[in-house]
Structure 1
Amino acid sequence: MANPFPIPLNALRAIEIVARRGALAPAAEELGVTIGAVSQHLRRAEERLGMELFERTPNGLRPLPALKAVLPQLTAGFSALQDGLTGLRGSDEAVLNLTVGSVFASRWLIWRINKFTTLNRDIEVRLNVTAAMLDLSRPDVDCGIRYGHGKWPGIHAELVGGSAYQPVCAPVVAARLKRPEDLAQVPVIQDETTMLSWDAWRAEVGLDPDIKLTGPIYSDASLAFDAAISEQGVLMAADMMSADAVSDGRLVRPFEHSVEGPLGYWLVTAQGRRESRKLRAFRTWLKAEVPASVRGYVYQSRG
Structure 2
Amino acid sequence: MSKGFPIPLNAVRAIEIVARRGALAPAAEELGVTLGAVSQHLRRAEARLGMELFERTGQGLVPTAALRAALPQLSAGFAALQDGLAELSGSDEAILNLTVGSVFASRWLIWRINKFTTLYPEIEVRLTVTGAMLDLQRADIDCGIRFGAGNWPGVIATPIGGAEFQPVCAPPIARALKHPSYLYGVPVIRDETTMLSWDLWLQSVGLDAERRLHGPTYSDPSLAFDAAISEQGVLMAVDMMSADAVSDGRLVRPFTGPVSGPHQYWLATAKGRRETTKLRRFREWLAAEIPASARGYVHQSRG
Interval containing the TM-score (normalised by the shorter chain): over 0.9
Partner of 1:54: 54
Partner of 1:221: 221
Is the CA contact (8 Å cut-off) linking 2:83 and 2:92 kept in structure 1?
no
Partner of 2:136: 136
Is the CA contact (8 Å cut-off) linking 1:165 and 1:258 kept in structure 2?
yes
Partner of 1:206: 206
1:295: how far off? 3.5
Is residue 80 of structure 1 aligned with residue 96 of structure 2?
A: no
Q: Quick one: distance in 2 between partners of 1:229 and 1:60?
A: 45
Partner of 2:120: 120
Give the CA RMSD over aligned residues: 1.5
SS for the counterpart of 1:289 is helix
- Counterparts of residues 271-290 of structure 1 (less than 5 Å): 271-290=271-290
* Letter aligned with residue 213 of structure 1: L
Partner of 1:266: 266
SS for the counterpart of 2:166 is strand
Structure 1 residue runs without a partner (length 5+):
299-303
- Counterparts of residues 1-303 of structure 1 (less than 5 Å): 3-297=3-297
Q: Mark the CA change 1:290 to 1:11 in structure 2 (over 3 Å): closer, same or farther.
A: same
1:194: how far off? 0.6
Q: Quick one: distance in 1 between partners of 2:149 and 2:55?
A: 26
* Letter aligned with residue 113 of structure 2: I
Q: Quick one: distance in 1 between partners of 2:173 and 2:40?
A: 60
Is the CA contact (8 Å cut-off) linking 2:146 and 2:268 kept in structure 1?
yes
Deviates more, 1:129-138 or 1:213-222: 129-138
Is the CA contact (8 Å cut-off) linking 1:136 and 1:142 kept in structure 2?
yes
1:296: how far off? 4.4
Q: Quick one: distance in 1 between partners of 2:197 and 2:80?
A: 40
Q: Quick one: distance in 2 between partners of 1:218 and 1:293?
A: 28
Could you tell me the percent identity over the aligned residues?
75
1:62: how far off? 2.3
SS for the counterpart of 2:265 is strand
Deviates more, 1:103-112 or 1:249-258: 249-258
Is the CA contact (8 Å cut-off) linking 1:165 and 1:236 kept in structure 2?
yes
Q: Quick one: distance in 2 between partners of 1:179 and 1:52?
A: 63
Q: Quick one: distance in 2 between partners of 1:210 and 1:129?
A: 35
Q: Mark the CA change 1:74 to 1:225 in structure 2 (over 3 Å): closer, same or farther.
A: same
**Cα deviation per residue 1:209-266 (whole Å; 9 max; x = unaligned)?**
2322010011110000000000000001111100100111101111132111111111
Is the CA contact (8 Å cut-off) linking 1:244 and 1:296 kept in structure 2?
no
Q: Quick one: distance in 2 between partners of 1:218 and 1:58?
A: 34
1:3: how far off? 4.2
**Cα deviation per residue 1:135-170 (whole Å; 9 max; x = unaligned)?**
212221111111111111111111111111111111
* Letter aligned with residue 290 of structure 1: I
SS for the counterpart of 2:80 is helix
* Letter aligned with residue 133 of structure 2: M
1:4: how far off? 4.2
* Letter aligned with residue 168 of structure 2: V
* Letter aligned with residue 186 of structure 2: V
SS for the counterpart of 1:125 is strand
Is the CA contact (8 Å cut-off) linking 1:174 and 1:252 kept in structure 2?
yes
Q: Quick one: distance in 2 between partners of 1:272 and 1:259?
A: 35
**Cα deviation per residue 1:149-194 (whole Å; 9 max; x = unaligned)?**
1111111111111111111111111111121111100000011111
Q: Quick one: distance in 1 between partners of 2:172 and 2:100?
A: 32
Is the CA contact (8 Å cut-off) linking 1:243 and 1:295 kept in structure 2?
no
* Letter aligned with residue 148 of structure 2: G
Is the CA contact (8 Å cut-off) linking 2:83 and 2:274 kept in structure 1?
yes
Structure 2 residue runs without a partner (length 5+):
299-303
Q: Mark the CA change 1:2 to 1:43 in structure 2 (over 3 Å): closer, same or farther.
A: farther
